[in-house]
Each structure stands twice: as structure tokens, then as C-alpha cells.
Amino acid sequence: MDKDLENIKTTLDVVCGKWKAVVLYKLTSGTLRFGEIKKQIPLIKHQTLIKQLKELEEDGLINRKSYPEVPPKVEYSLTDYGRDLEYLLTHLVEWGNEHNRLSYRAEKELEET
Amino acid sequence: MDKDLENIKTTLDVVCGKWKAVVLYKLTSGTLRFGEIKKQIPLIKHQTLIKQLKELEEDGLINRKSYPEVPPKVEYSLTDYGRDLEYLLTHLVEWGNEHNRLSYRAEKELEET
DNA sequence: TAAAGTGGTATATTTTAATATACCAAGGAG
DNA sequence: CTCCTTGGTATATTAAAATATACCACTTTA
């Protein structure tokens, strides 16, 4: 039984959706509405954001608060569980910053911007 | 231009192959032969390991040293560039450990063991 | 002389993730 | 009235990642 291996998988599984870590990082600054998240991550697609938010919620990392208004208003925020990722997220940013030579694949993807 | 977003993508892109972070973590303890890595990560498939090692090498995170012997002997080790990930990797392990409730998806995957 | 061992290549197939497209509810603005 | 708004649902399609399968080189061991 390799516990380290399981632990890494646990964390990655929760963070490694195409934009999950970015979404979580945005939420570290505070509660955001669905549309605000979308605006702050211009490349993300509507469906993709919806699915990733749902998974993050299922995994207990974010709260979803829906107001009974029309047009709808839905706010997302980090749970305590998710807030524990904050430290890790800043390290994701830092490593990327210090090694700002984009990877071959990341570059290929972002150049469509 | 959202630099944080790019930085996160850079890091994730390098780490988020199915077993990449685990491979890197194993290598933090020192140089390993191909077969040793495979043995330490029983669930990884031959082809998958080969591909991920190649990508890690392309991204400059690991060194590949091949000895002209038969049967072949190939050793993998972290580059300085990759060693800078060590801190991040230990945090991946830690968060997973502190939140050892496996995510819905991670559980589903590992239960086939 | 046949078989085993290592770290691959090449190719096809399956599984998973991301994307595109169309549609909805119901209140307010014009 | 009609259109716009927001945050979705449902479905189909495409792209990407992982897996399966077969094969190879050459030396050593049995």
C-alpha cells in the first residue's frame, strides 16, 4: 500500500480539470457569481465551466448558493475544505512564474488567445 | 493579460498527466531505472509510462540516461528544473493526506486495484 | 538452441474530457 | 407584446489521453 501515491492522486484528481485550479484560485479572493468567473477566465467554455463547478462542488471544495431570483443569481465560494488548497494554489502560480518558459503543450494551447 | 492564470496552466500542464506527479515524486528520492519506476507504480501501464516520461523529458523536468548495454538500461532523474517541483509535490501529498477522503472520481479509479 | 530480460516502437482501439449547439424559465426594460 | 438577461439542461460531436496488442534488439542463462 503506497499511501503517498494515493494522496497525490487524491489531490490531483480534485485539481486537474482543465481550469479547476484556476477557478479555485479566483475564488480565493472571495465569492464570485457564475458570470464573473466566466468573465475572469475568458478561454473557458460555458459547458466546461458548468461541469467543473459541479465536480468541485461534489468534491466538497466549493459552495454553491442559488438565489431564487429571475434572472438567476448563483454564487460560488470556497469551503473550508477548499480553502486548505490555497497554499498549494499559490505554489502552482509561483512555480509557473519562476519557470515561465511555457511547456510545449501549454504554449500550443494558449496561443489561440 | 492574466499572468496568474498562465502560470497555473504552465504548472498544471507539466504535472497533470495521469501519473506524472507520482513519477516525479518517486524521482525525488533519487535516480530510478525504467523498470523500477514501473514496479513502484503498479497500476501504471507500460505505454502510459513511456509516454509520460517522454513528455516530462521534453518539458525539461527529467533527464534520461541510456546505457549502451543489452538488455537495455535507462535511468531517469530529476533536472534542476524538475527538482524545483519537489516542494510542490510534497504539498500535493500533504493535502491528499489531510483530506484523505478520496474524491468520488479518484475512488472509483483506484478501487480496481 | 531456446527462452528470458529490458526498454523501447508502431498501430489500433477504447475511454475520458472538452466543446458545440439548441433550448429553457420568468421577470424587467423598451 | 417582444426581447434580453442568467445560469442552467440535454444531447451530439470532437479532440485528447490512456490502454491493448504485437513486435523488436542482443546478450546471457539454462
Q: Which three cell numbers stand for residue B67?
A: 546505457
pLDDT digits (tens, 9 = 90+) for B53-65: 999 999 999 999 9
Q: Which CATH number fits domain A3-110: 1.10.1740.110, 1.10.10.10, 1.10.3720.10, 2.60.120.10?
A: 1.10.10.10
Predicted pLDDT of residue B41: 96
Give phi and psi for A77, each to the nearest 5: -150, 165
Q: Which residues of chain B make contact with A83, given a CB cutoff of 8 A?
A: none
Residue spans of the domains in chain A: they are: 3-110
Cis peptide bond prior to A72, omega within 30° of 0? no
| Residues paired with residue A67 on neighbouring β-strands, in sequence order | A73
Work out if B32's Cβ lies within 7 angstroms of strand C. Answer: no
Lowest mean pLDDT among A18-27, A33-42, A103-112, B99-108: A103-112
Predicted pLDDT of residue A62: 97
Instruction: Please report where in the chains the cell 502510459 appears, as a residue.
Output: B48
Q: Residue B110's pLDDT band (boundaries 50, 70, 90)?
A: low
Nucleotide with minimal C1' distance from the CA of B47 is: D19
Nearest-angstrom CA–CA distance, A20 and B94: 19
Predicted pLDDT of residue A108: 53
Predicted pLDDT of residue A105: 46
